[in-house]
Amino acid sequence: MKFGVISFPGSCDDTDALSACGRVGEAVALWHADHDLAGVDAVVVPGGFSYGDYLRAGAIARFAPIMTEVIEFAHAGGYVMGICNGFQVCCEAGLLPGALLSNLSRRFVFRQVRLRVLGEPSPFTAAIEPGAELSIPVKHTTGRYFAPPEMLARLHAAGQVVLRYAPGENPNGSLDDIAGVVNEARNVFGLMPHPEHAVDQLTGSTDGLSLFASLAAAAAA
Amino acid sequence: MSAVDSLAGVEQAVALGLTQDEYGLVVASLGGREPNDVELAMFSLLWSEHCSYKHSKILLRTLPSSGERLVLGPGENAGAVDVGGGLAVAFKVESHNHPSAVEPFQGAATGVGGILRDIFAVGARPIAVLDSLRFGEIDSERTRYLLEHAVAGIGHYGNSIGVPTVGGEVYFEGPYEQNCLINAMCVGLVETERLIRSAASGPGNLLVLFGASTGRDGIGGASVLASAELGEGDEAKRPSVQIGDPFAEKKLMECSLELLERALLVALQDLGAAGLTSAAAEMASKGSVGVDIDVARVPLREEGMEPFEIMVSESQERMLCVVEPDRLEAVLAVCEHWETAASVIGEVTASGLVRVLDGERVLGEMPVEALVDACPLYDLQPRAPQEPLYSAPRRVLDSSDDVDPGETLLALLRSPNIADRLPLFEQYDPVVQSRTVRRPGQADAAVLALPARGEARPGIAIAIDGNGRRVAADPYRGTVEAVLECASNLACVGAEPLGLTNCLNFGNPEKPHVAWQLCESVRGLADACRAIGVAVVGGNVSLYNEGADGPIYPTPVIGLVGELPDVALAGRIGFRAEGDRIALVGPFAPEIAGSELARLGGRELPSSLADVDIARVLAAQRAVRDAVRSGSLASAHDIAEGGLATALAECCLAGGLGAEVAFDDTVKPLRALFGEGSGGFVVSGGEGALRALGGAGVAVRIVGLVSGTRLTIVAGEARIELALERLREAHGALRALFD
Amino acid sequence: MKARVLVRPKAGILDPQGAAVERALPALGFEGVSDVRVGRLIELEVSDPARLQEMCERLLANPLIEDYEVLLEGAAG
């Protein structure tokens, strides 16, 4: 099973995501200017500040050459996981519903937060007990999840909200404590927390590993 | 009337900051010819305090600059030490005080940007940033403005570029009200054999400028600003503030590192203060060669720029490299890959001259030696002050003996100099790059893992510290204490010092009492470095830090890097388990004078600090370090601001556990609880492990146990009993600033 | 042709920057200010102004969360 991790100019967590993926499968780097997904089974759009986050977080990266391939890959059912800036890119690209707005504090926030995995089945959380709590860090300035009321109702009804901040842990003012959502077809997942920074007890926690492991199992199946 | 007076350009030279005598030397170094405008602009910048270190260089030569582990010493963009496994760690601390006082967000951001470039200029990948900040009293509106924007600026740059901010310190004291301090430290990792120097060589080789285009940013900025006191009319200086672009720097960094990885460069240098002028002259000087620079080939951001403006522009995110002609194509291809503009702007010559050209026209021609080495160095004229230099701090607390010590402890925890820094640290990313084993607040020093060597997980530890108030009281002993404090921080995570960097933030050195502070402080720094066995690998000097009310507290900021064999055993502040014993280790001899409690009580600074028994402090550090490395201690924390009671409270809060502690024999409880001094540690663990710390000159006293959810301290007649919740509430006082 | 695009948060979307400005103004003695929204201004030189709307929809603004307004230099009003 092979992961591909995209690097845009301004990506910061691409190397970390690559090594996290490497713990549960094969992992290769993909370059923003290429039109080649190198035959990967799953794509990770990593965190950072692609193109400086200028204009709007994710707005310019969404038009990178590689994204044409990612969008096509996703529409064909390929697995895509967007982490933080990658979540913003996927929303801008129309692969995921909603948008990420500036934190209510207007400030960058780094925090180790507790997350709840919801019961809705998804290939990204299949290896995790529903209701389980994960300890994973967030770090962003633009992480307040927003969807218009009708869209939000549809997301809840269809079980597309798969990750929430535990009560009292919402770091950015996200609607309904939403930390991660999947698309309707459940093959694209976006989340603000950084599971790639929770894969080694030495550096804090191993709770993020289960998300990569779930994805690896799904993509290998 | 002297001969210099009659020279045509002398007035302009003086306006640009040179003295009449210095101008005379410039003329002499040009063989009797007066400089033209381009040349004068270049001389005035390179001979400014900021570039020439003319008031501090003689003093800095007294610092130990060689060591077993040193692989790159002072004089390069950053120094480096060997950390084993074929790897070296490069590091440096630098100030950006004056730009930050004018525009705190950009000043702090570009301060981080500048120090990052210093690190990747030697070929190292930046792996950590730390910062050291000083502001006026917290209730001043200006302080809050500076704090909010400086912190945001540091975060903006470091977070966006993907380098973790792993530590830092901040203090609030009246003497910094008019002149805040923003020092940033960067640490980089590099394969030792890939370290690159900045010496240009090989006449015929090309000078390639890459990165951002050149605009009027910072013209006369850093160099002139940093060489004069800020006074009235700071607003007028605003246009010269540089604007940082972390996205451009991220690409510039990846581009530079790839160029070096592929061994395409002869030399590399970042553009900082005095821009191209300084970069080109420094590279030529180190390589004993000459350079020709054609200003017509420098990509510009603004129209109508004068040649001298191009030569002195301080536009950010630019690097200059020397390339062999047959590698140019490969270099340009790497730059294109990283969307980084690059242009050949000149070449290395054998002339020994810096020549500035505009196409065919020669605009300036100066011997490299004249620019870099002919600047006169000044001996300081130190004189110890007869009167106290600083007024007593404003009294905000009744610190007399009859106040409830529990209330005093809460007041200390609430003090902005002691309160939890989490509200600041939360604005920085400490984990990117996946090396951070101890984040801010978890331990006394940041701990980063190095690549595993077989089963071994070695790492480095980094601490940054400096207590201006104590240095103001006693420049020699205060500086010794600051170095020892950093070494104690390292000991608490199990690390041994490898190398030291420093930023000397002082007032106007032409004033005898400031010169005295500087001389005494450097003497203390040298002695302390020899004591802990490290070299000063490089650093920075920031002088003329004064406001209308006088000089800042003399503030040497110390950055110390050490190594530890196994990061999995790195120490923590927090108590870990109920029932663990608590011990006080080391030659701790606390005094109230010069302490945080004395500050809150509005007491004047003492005229000196107590002597430090360095040998005994080192013995205690060794004992703690060895025990942490063996894994026998549950926690380790050094006693600093706020004294023993504060340290105990911090251990409780970090671990979420209470403690019961007693010193029955104490006759001066206030001093025992809140006094400050070097060499004290609070550690916890099993009784056997704690007793084993003793011996060979190390005092160990078991004083209590980890228990429950309250902190109880009995010290002679005094008694403190407080629930963790109350401690936590007081300790969280800074949160309100960022709501 | 010179064009200006004004982008602002859609009505009903919480704008913390606007809220911060709204809080700060009275503190400086500027009373009677409400409904502050902070957006951005994009200036551009375009050869075909007819395509501006598409530029806005696809890149310059995110229609889910932002409104935009196009102003052409020299245009009436």
Interface of A with B in 140-179 (CB under 8 A): none
Alpha helices in chain C (DSSP H): 16-27, 52-55
Among B432, B103, B110, smallest CA distance to B245 is for B110
**Residues B557 and B466 sit within 8 Å (Cβ to Cβ):** yes
Nearest to B431 among A19, A49, A203 (CB): A203
> What is the distance, to the nearest Å, from the Cα of residue B173 to the centroid of all Cα atoms in its chain?
18
- For residue B240, is pLDDT > 70? no
User: How far is C6 from chain A, CA to nearest CA, in Å?
Assistant: 12
Task: Give the mutation candidate from C64, C66, C67, C68 for the A interface (greatest A CB count, under 10 A).
Answer: C64
Task: Give the mutation candidate from C7, C14, C68 for the A interface (greatest A CB count, under 10 A).
Answer: C14
From A172-176, B100-104, B449-453, B604-608, the region with the lowest mean pLDDT:
B100-104
Q: Which residues of C touch A146 (CB under 8 A)?
A: 13, 64-65
Nearest to A51 among B162, B247, B427 (CB): B247
Q: Is C28 at the interface with chain A, CB within 8 A?
A: no
Give the DSSP letter string of B624-659. HHHHHHHT-EEEEEE--TTHHHHHHHHHHHHHT--E
CA distance A193 to A195: 6
**Residues B82 and B150 sit within 8 Å (Cβ to Cβ):** no
**Residues B211 and B319 sit within 8 Å (Cβ to Cβ):** yes
CA distance B556 to B423: 25
Among B489, B486, B563, B501, smallest CA distance to B535 is for B501
Interface of A with C in 57-86 (CB under 8 A): 59-60, 63
User: Is residue B3 very low, low, confident or very high in pLDDT (cuts 50, 70, 90)?
Assistant: low
Among B280, B279, B261, B249, smallest CA distance to B117 is for B249
Q: Do B432 and A13 touch (CB under 8 A)?
A: yes
**Residues B499 and B70 sit within 8 Å (Cβ to Cβ):** yes
CB-based burial label for B539 (10 Å; 0-12, 13-18, 19+): buried
Q: What is the mean pLDDT of chain B?
A: 92
Among B409, B444, B369, B446, smallest CA distance to B28 is for B369
**Residues A175 and A166 sit within 8 Å (Cβ to Cβ):** no
> What is the distance, to the nearest Å, from the Cα of residue C39 to the centroid of all Cα atoms in its chain?
4
Among B62, B133, B72, smallest CA distance to B499 is for B72
Query: Which whole number is the average pLDDT over B46-56?
Result: 89
Q: Which chains touch A (3 or more CB pairs under 8 A)?
A: B, C
Confidence at residue C14, expressed as pLDDT on a 0 to 100 scale:
86
Structure-token pair, residue B170: 């901040």
Cβ neighbours around B403 below 10 Å, total: 14
Q: Which residues of B touch A16 (CB under 8 A)?
A: 432-434
- For residue B9, is pLDDT > 60? yes
- ipTM of predicted complex: 0.97
Query: Which whole number is the average pLDDT over B373-395?
Result: 92
User: Is residue B2 very low, low, confident or very high in pLDDT (cuts 50, 70, 90)?
Assistant: low
Q: How far is CA B238 from CA B219, B224, C51, in A?
A: 11, 13, 39
Token pair 């650093």 in the structure block, residue: B539
**Residues B317 and B113 sit within 8 Å (Cβ to Cβ):** yes
Alpha helices in B238-392 (DSSP H): 246-261, 275-287, 307-312, 328-337, 368-372
Q: Torsions phi, psi of B468, nearest 5? A: -60, -35
User: pLDDT > 70: what percent of chain B?
Assistant: 96
The residue annotated as part of the active site, out of A84, A91, A140, A169, is A84
Confidence at residue B222, expressed as pLDDT on a 0 to 100 scale:
37
Enumerate residues 6+ apart whose C-beta is below 8 A from A48.
A8, A10, A11, A12, A13, A14, A84, A85, B162
- For residue B364, is pLDDT > 50? yes
Q: Is A196 a catalytic residue?
A: yes
Q: Which residue of C has its CA nearest to A151?
A: C64
**Residues B78 and B90 sit within 8 Å (Cβ to Cβ):** yes
**pLDDT tens for residues A98-109?**
999 999 999 999
Q: Which residues of B touch A65 (CB under 8 A)?
A: none
Q: Which residues of C touch A63 (CB under 8 A)?
A: 59
Strands of B353-358's sheet in order across: B267-270, B318-323, B206-211, B342-349, B290-294, B353-358, B361-367
Confidence at residue B548, expressed as pLDDT on a 0 to 100 scale:
84
Q: Do B427 and A13 touch (CB under 8 A)?
A: no
Enumerate residues 6+ apart whose C-beta is below 8 A from B250.
A9, A10, A12, A49, B160, B161, B162
Which is higher by pLDDT, B68 or A4?
A4
CA distance A56 to A92: 9
Q: What is the mean pLDDT of chain A?
A: 96
User: Is residue B242 very low, low, confident or very high in pLDDT (cuts 50, 70, 90)?
Assistant: confident
From A178-187, B36-45, B516-525, the region with the lowest mean pLDDT:
B36-45
User: pLDDT > 90: what percent of chain B?
Assistant: 82
CA distance A119 to B219: 60
**pLDDT tens for residues B611-626?**
999 999 999 999 999 9
Inter-chain CB pairs, A–B, below 8 Å: 85
**Residues A188 and A74 sit within 8 Å (Cβ to Cβ):** yes
**pLDDT tens for residues B153-196?**
999 999 999 999 999 999 999 999 999 999 999 999 999 999 98
Q: Do B251 and A13 touch (CB under 8 A)?
A: no
Task: Give the mutation candidate from A56, A95, A107, A152 for the C interface (greatest C CB count, under 10 A).
Answer: A56
**pLDDT tens for residues B484-528?**
999 999 999 999 999 999 999 999 999 999 999 999 999 999 999
Query: Which whole number is the average pLDDT over B278-290?
Result: 93
Q: Which residues of B touch A110 (CB under 8 A)?
A: 425-431
Q: Is A105 at the interface with chain C, CB within 8 A?
A: yes
Q: Is C53 at the interface with chain A, CB within 8 A?
A: no
Enumerate residues 6+ apart whose C-beta is below 8 A from B411.
B397, B600, B730
Q: Is A194 a catalytic residue?
A: yes
Give the DSSP letter string of A181-216. EE-TTS-EEEESS-GGGSSBGGGTBSTTHHHHHHHH
CA distance B378 to B53: 9
List of E strands, B430-519:
436-438, 446-449, 459-465, 496-505
Enumerate residues 6+ apart whose C-beta is below 8 A from B325.
B204, B205, B206
Q: Is B338 at the interface with chain A, CB within 8 A?
A: yes
Confidence at residue B223, expressed as pLDDT on a 0 to 100 scale:
41
Q: Is A202 at the interface with chain B, CB within 8 A?
A: yes
Token pair 């020699």 in the structure block, residue: B476
